[in-house]
Amino acid sequence: MSNKVTILDIQQARAEGRKLAMVTAYDYPFGLLADQAEVDMVLVGDSLGMVVMGLDGTVEVTMEDMIHHIKAVMRGCKGPLVIGDMPFMSYNTSIREAIHNAGRLMKEGGCDAIKLEGGVDFAPTIEAIVKAGIPVQGHIGLTPQTASALGGFKMQGKDAAAAKQIIDDARSLQKAGVFSIVLEAVPAPLGKLVSEAVEVPIIGIGAGPDVDGQVLVTHDMLGLFDKFVPKFVKQFTQIRTIILDAMKAYKKEVQEVTFPGPEHSFKMPAETLAQLKAMMDD
């Protein structure tokens, strides 16, 4: 992709009715792949805690982890808008610390924008970060960092009052200045209503088709991470099986000495070999 996607492009896409595609990436090869696939946005999500670091959730992910992975993604991902996820407790203790840490993700990581989880309660924090000149993407509905407080990784907005709260969250985030909002794990009709209630693009993950774009965790979408597969995940391939078969084939060929073959081996002129052997006999 030659042209860099901007915040304006993301907002224009909604105005033009063009659906936005966003994926996650955590390293250089996947940053490069997302770039070559010409997706609109790449999220260096704190989901890296689960799908890359093997943790049980996102809570243990640190600022240092995020910066390390954002830097790697940025080396491969030149076209899409890259968003760095604010890890748990990097924005929750004070507005000053939130601005400081959001700035670190951009200055040290090099991403184009940041994302943080939370609704109405986080509007003042978001407003302050935006005022500091940092583009913010919101994240409402199921918020994985506080999933235990929400009763686990469950669909949100089940009853009318809870659904209305999510619409209020979206409105307050828009007022605070977010350029878009991730909406996770809500009934599809609520996804539609949230999208209609605001003007910023709503990027759904388990929010149905009537939103302005979709995001999936790449390792889920490729069938690379299958510890658990949420209902809203479509596995577009089963890359884990392909990789596993390749590794087993490699092991077999190493054991049977069918790898490396002549085409993977460096040659030595017979004369040099003879000289070497003679030298070894000395």
Residues that are catalytic? 184
Shortest gap between Cβ of 51 and ligand KIV (angstroms)?
8
Footprint (CB under 6 A) of ligand KIV, residues 180-209? 182, 205
Return d(Cα 269, Cα 279) in angstroms, integer. Answer: 16
Number of residues counted as binding ligand KIV (CB under 6 A): 11
Residue carrying the six token digits 């993950």: 205
Q: Is 145 in the site for ligand KIV (CB under 6 A)?
A: no
Q: Is 46 in the site for ligand KIV (CB under 6 A)?
A: yes
According to CB under 6 A, which one of 85, 112, 127, 212 is a site residue for ligand KIV? 85
Burial 205-225 (b: 16+ CB within 10 A, else e): bbbbebbbbbbbbbbbbbbbb
Shortest gap between Cβ of 144 and ligand KIV (angstroms)?
6
Shortest gap between Cβ of 52 and ligand KIV (angstroms)?
11
Return d(Cα 91, Cα 109) in angstroms, integer. Answer: 17
Shortest gap between Cβ of 218 and ligand KIV (angstroms)?
9
The region of 45-53, 232-240, 248-256, 263-271 touching ligand KIV under the rule CB under 6 A is 45-53
Handedness of CA 243, 28, 228, 221 (dihedral sign): negative
| Number of CB atoms found within 10 A of residue 266's CB | 5
Q: Is 24 in the site for ligand KIV (CB under 6 A)?
A: yes
Residue 281 CB-half CA count within 13 A: 6
- List of E strands, 106-205: 113-117, 136-141, 180-184, 202-205
Binding mask 87-126 for ligand KIV (x = CB under 6 A): ----------------------------------------
115: nearest Cα among 180, 164, 172: 180
Interface with ligand KIV (CB under 6 A)? 24, 43, 45-47, 85, 139, 182, 205, 215, 217
